[in-house]
Structure 1
Amino acid sequence: MNKILKINQIKKINGFIYLPGSKSISNRVLLLSAMSNGKTYLKNILKSDDTQYMINTLKILGVKFKRKNNTNNYKIISKGDSIFNNIKMNIFLGNAGTAMRSLTAAFCLGLNDIILTGEDRMKNRPIGHLIDALIQGGANIKYLEKIKYPPLHIRGGFIGGNININGNISSQFLTSLLIISPLAKNNTIIFIKNKLVSKPYIDMTLKLMKIFGISVKIKNNYFFIKGNQKYIAPKKYLIEGDASSASYFLAASAIKGKSISLYGINVEKSIQGDSKFINVLKKIGTLIYNNNNFIYCKKNILRGISLDMNDMPDAAMTLAILGLFSKGITNILNIYNWRVKETDRLYAMSKELNKIGAKIKEGSNYLYIKPNNIIKSAIIDTYNDHRIAMCFSLISLFKQIIIKNPKCVNKTFPNYFIEFSKISSFYL
């Protein structure tokens, strides 16, 4: 694929998609499997840059991965949490935020000498709140360049105790603390300051921890985790299809008024917060059908809405695109955490939506979108952000669009444009 991708106007869409495994679930269960002593069988692991950084690091630590035939199913063999002790190495994690944050915490469990680093964007993604929390639990961590940002020098030493952390920055910080706390020497109480953002991601973490044998007590504004525990592998675990990835195909169906079937996710049983995006689609005027392992939707009349999307920050970007094709104003609220993602998404989405012809107001934590009757063709800068590339591909349903750096989708959905071409008249 070239450095740019031109997608001509797509006149019709139809077909079905088998969704890749969830990135959020994949990286969590990969780490939990590594922390469990013995064998775990994981089915439908997402194949992407983010998961590959996690897998490569775990392999270096001695975790064995045996792939079944040519599938995304693996048998994972580990010696448990002891693999995170007595390690001296430099580890590069690209721009994989889930890997950087969770591995930062994991390496604090033992006594180590580790440098964690990544791409330039990773060096500008704040991690200070997590580091402060880990230090409260006894960890020895130093910043090597800019204070509160990677790269990090980690010597370990986390033993648990009472920890305070801001809940309104990134759910990944709390997830990282929750995952390591059962393995700490002492009991841990995590006190949450301010309102918890992206709560469904914390719920996901707790459900997965329980599947691996660990329960967490929750009371009001704190979590209690008993120390000196061990994770127990569930033998087999099927990773459900990625709900964030599903949002683009559902949006295509809503915009074009044609049905697309999605296989690999049951929205009634899903543990992903973005599975609730179908409720957002219903509110803006789509007809939704779902049954067991597939869902599809069909347009009625799309209308703008004002909605708090804090629980679905990734799918909120798809809603922004839908706002271009809706009657009336779309106001996406409580999305400050867009600013600490792969890029400053509030700034990036505002700038690129303006190119399409919409009237945009960018606030500190909201995005206001007033559609224009005429949607313009444009060259879209992706800021090396996979979700911006996938979102703006939907403009091709009405106008030709040019996507810069389309390979950035490798972060979570390497085959996205191939799959998109299957349901449209677009060919790579």
Structure 2
Amino acid sequence: MPKRQVVSHTIDSPTVTVPGSKYLANRYIALAAIATGTTRLSNLPQNDDIEAALEAISQLGAVVTDIEPGVVEIQGITHYSLSDTAHINCRDSGTLSRFITAVASNLSSEVVVDASEQMRQRPMREVSQSLRDLGVSVDSNRLPITLKGPIKGGEVELDTSRSSQYLSGLLIACLKAETETVLMLKGKTVSSSYIQLTKNAIEKFGGVVEEVSSTQLKVPANQQLKAADINIASDVVSSSYFMAAGLLAETSVTLNAFDFDSPQGESKFYQVLEKMGAAVERHDSQLFLSYQRPLSGITVDMGDMPDVVPTLVVLAMFAQGETHITNIAHLAFKESNRIVDLCDELNKLGANIDYDEDSIRVKGGQTLSLAELSSCHDHRLAMSFALIGIKLPGITITDAQAVEKSFPRYWEFLQQIGVETQVVATAS
């Protein structure tokens, strides 16, 4: 299991341009697969999740052409019936497992959707049952799933209290349904900004989702999506690591091509840091963030920006006072249990972090000591834990290759801003 150690840092007011958003890319890839014509995607992030997504739509009949690094063209599916059963491996991508199951529901031939052993543990019941209600044959509520469409449409009730990906996947699936679809939402919808991200992506391809009420969405039948030419905005979650790095090093950082207008909740993370005491300036598409004084603990609802919670917890360990993070129950269903695993690992350092099923409480300013931290095969934990090395040189992260899921060049980017890391040899 690869280990990486943070050796030292010389961070001094770096400027960073972060690769394109994998959240946007995943949506654009799924929509391009069911659009008519050839879609061109530029600034496409290069990581394992995106490779898996491109491979998956190819197996469903889309044609993917690599133009140059970070640029692909996708010709949409022309025949929604395959001669043989398609076997799709989502690898470690929970997002893809939901989205590709939705796209595959449009095919009249059999498709098997599978993933890594870890992803097989993640819930799929809401997606599976909803697709059954809409006329798709689905054999299981967990991966691997064998399904056969086409999707008919109709009315379906969906519990969105655990993950917004269920709803995003269904919105994409139902664009090609044979009849109109009405989605009735129950429970408190988590990560609602990601739903808006999906709606915006659908609009780029000429698709329509009608909001009947706050709990009811209508998707017109058999929509003819049109190919698009899209330059993908920088990833706002990946940006969070460089914001935190600048503050931990007590310097400033400038982020280029920052997507201030993104509906994704994580795009407002800099506002959380501002409340903690960071100085923030906006210049067109540049975000300038600087350390002015020790950060202060705050109480904050992170329900709409779940993927930056690990970054915030790491910062909170070095802030003054207590930070209370609320409305995060859905973090239990990520690549790891991002409440339990995150806190238990950090407490190995001597941190004082308490948690329950919906919140985390961090008491800053504790005396920390070196320990090996496991990423728990979670890219967000691996990247956040590495930042601790700015304050605690010598910190070691096991299963460090987890960053390849979303940001395979992460260690290279840290090197560019002045954070030195090294691979630690493991006993064979």
Counterpart CA distance in 2 for 1:159 and 1:373 is 57
Quote the offset at 1:296 in angstroms. 2.6
Quote the offset at 1:101 in angstroms. 0.5
Aligned partner of residue 110 in structure 1, secondary structure: coil
Q: Which 5+ residue runs of structure 1 have no aligned equivalent?
A: none
Aligned partner of residue 375 in structure 2, secondary structure: coil
Of 395, 415, 423 in structure 1, the residue corresponding to residue 417 of structure 2 is 423
Counterpart CA distance in 1 for 2:276 and 2:373 is 26
1:181·1:225 contact (CA, 8 Å) conserved in 2? yes
Counterpart CA distance in 1 for 2:288 and 2:411 is 19
Quote the offset at 1:170 in angstroms. 0.4
Moved more, 364-373 or 398-407: 364-373
Counterpart CA distance in 2 for 1:425 and 1:224 is 49
TM-score by length of 1: 0.94
Structure 1 position 287 matched with structure 2 position 286:
no
| RMSD of aligned Cα (Å) | 1.6
Of 315, 319, 340 in structure 1, the residue corresponding to residue 312 of structure 2 is 319
- Alignment deviations for residues 91-135 of structure 1 (CA, whole Å, 9 cap, x no partner): 211111111101111111222222211111111111111111111
Alignment: residue pair count? 419
| Counterpart code for 1:275 | S
| Counterpart code for 1:297 | L
Counterpart CA distance in 2 for 1:107 and 1:241 is 28
Quote the offset at 1:84 in angstroms. 6.4
Quote the offset at 1:401 in angstroms. 0.7
Counterpart CA distance in 2 for 1:383 and 1:245 is 19
Of 408, 412, 417 in structure 1, the residue corresponding to residue 402 of structure 2 is 408
2:60·2:86 contact (CA, 8 Å) conserved in 1? no
Quote the offset at 1:136 in angstroms. 1.1
Counterparts in 2 of 1:300-319, with a 5 A limit?
A: 300=292, 301-319=294-312
| Counterpart code for 1:49 | D
Moved more, 198-207 or 7-16: 7-16
Counterparts in 2 of 1:158-173, with a 5 A limit?
A: 158-173=151-166
2:58·2:64 contact (CA, 8 Å) conserved in 1? yes
| Counterpart code for 1:380 | L
Moved more, 16-25 or 53-62: 53-62
TM-score by length of 2: 0.94
Residue of structure 1 equivalent to 2:47:
48
Quote the offset at 1:425 in angstroms. 4.4
Counterpart CA distance in 2 for 1:122 and 1:229 is 31
Residue of structure 1 equivalent to 2:181:
188
Of 221, 243, 250 in structure 1, the residue corresponding to residue 215 of structure 2 is 221
Moved more, 109-118 or 56-65: 56-65
Of 239, 243, 249 in structure 1, the residue corresponding to residue 232 of structure 2 is 239
Residue of structure 1 equivalent to 2:74:
76
* Aligned-residue identity in percent: 29
Residue of structure 2 equivalent to 1:298:
290
| Counterpart code for 1:112 | S
In the superposition, relative to structure 1, how do residues 39 and 391 fare at CA in structure 2: closer, same or farther (>3 Å)? Answer: same
Q: Which 5+ residue runs of structure 2 have no aligned equivalent?
A: 423-428
Residue of structure 2 equivalent to 1:278:
270
Residue of structure 1 equivalent to 2:425:
none
Residue of structure 1 equivalent to 2:376:
383
- Alignment deviations for residues 356-378 of structure 1 (CA, whole Å, 9 cap, x no partner): 22112120111111124322222
Aligned partner of residue 111 in structure 1, secondary structure: coil
